[in-house]
Amino acid sequence: METNSQTTTVSMPRIGDKAPAFKAVTTQGEIIFPEQYSGSWVILFSHPADFTPVCTSEFMTFASMEDQFAKANCKLVGLSVDGLYSHIAWLRTIKEKIEYKGMKNVEVTFPLIEDITMEVAKTYGMIQPGESSTKAVRAVFVIDPKGIIRTIIYYPLSLGRNFHELYRVLIGLQTADAFNVATPADWEPGDDVIVPTAGSCGTAKERMENKKDMKCYDWFFCTRKIDKQTVLGTLLKK
């Protein structure tokens, strides 16, 4: 970290970087990150504070979707700068007392990291002083089975995350990897996908003359169909 009287420059991991390694105490015991998650996708996410309403709604939603993420070979790991006993007390309160949008008795079984020193939060750029210097923002890191950061999303303190979007991001990344395609705006499984752009004049010409199973809007923008069953059948555990 570089500092002068005017500015503070904090280095943060970027998309394509190896996820910074750390050991941490969590509500599920110690974890060694990302080593212990090798072979799985992981969503590492931070929240500002235990016993707060937006965070509670988020944890209940994420915990309710844990099986859905697990079917896509994805594990969840949460973090805040609160201590372990606060985490435990908050998760017990959620399970025992909170009923929200039809969710009740929600048990959070994924690890929640205690990060009182803010060491992990600072390493991952989760502390954004303009928003808060004492709480992590709502950061989301989607990390692939090789430990590479594939997506980073930040939300401010006041805005609860869209968990359908986080699942869509995961499935979109996995689809891109499995089928060597890209996904257009607002893509959902079953929608057309984008085939890699023609890398030579010959391929561009051939594409426009013989589109095979593609639909080409122009030589650089061709799509093809992959039906929903093929996408989900390939990606999801039975």
Can you give the binding site for ligand BEZ, defined by CB under 6 A?
A: 48-49, 52-55, 135, 157-158
| Among 168, 179, 174, 177, CA closest to 223 | 179
- Burial string for 195-228 (b: 16+ CB within 10 Å, else e) reads beebeeeeebeebeeeeeeeebeeeeebbbebee
Q: Which is nearer to ligand BEZ, 140 or 231 (CB)?
A: 140
55, 74, 216, 222: which one is catalytic? 55
Q: To the nearest whole angstrom, how small is the minimum distance from the Cβ of residue 53 to ligand BEZ?
A: 4
Q: Which is nearer to ligand BEZ, 150 or 161 (CB)?
A: 161
Clarify whether 74 is annotated catalytic. Answer: no
Q: Which is nearer to ligand BEZ, 66 or 131 (CB)?
A: 131
Q: Which is nearer to ligand BEZ, 22 or 163 (CB)?
A: 163
Q: To the nearest whole angstrom, how small is the minimum distance from the Cβ of residue 118 to ligand BEZ?
A: 15
Q: Which is nearer to ligand BEZ, 135 or 207 (CB)?
A: 135
**In this structure, how many other beta carbons lie within 10 angstroms of the beta carbon of residue 140?**
18
Q: To the nearest whole angstrom, how small is the minimum distance from the Cβ of residue 227 to ligand BEZ?
A: 39
Q: To the nearest whole angstrom, how small is the minimum distance from the Cβ of residue 159 to ligand BEZ?
A: 9
> Would you list the DSSP string of 60-109?
HHHHHTHHHHHHTTEEEEEEESS-HHHHHHHHHHHHHH--BTTB-S----
Four-residue CA torsion sign, 11, 17, 23, 24: positive
Count helices and strands in the chain by DSSP H and E runs = 7, 12
State how far the Cα of 191 lies from the Cα of 189, in Å rounded to an integer: 6
Contact present, 165 and 206 (Cβ < 8 Å): no
Residues with catalytic roles: 55
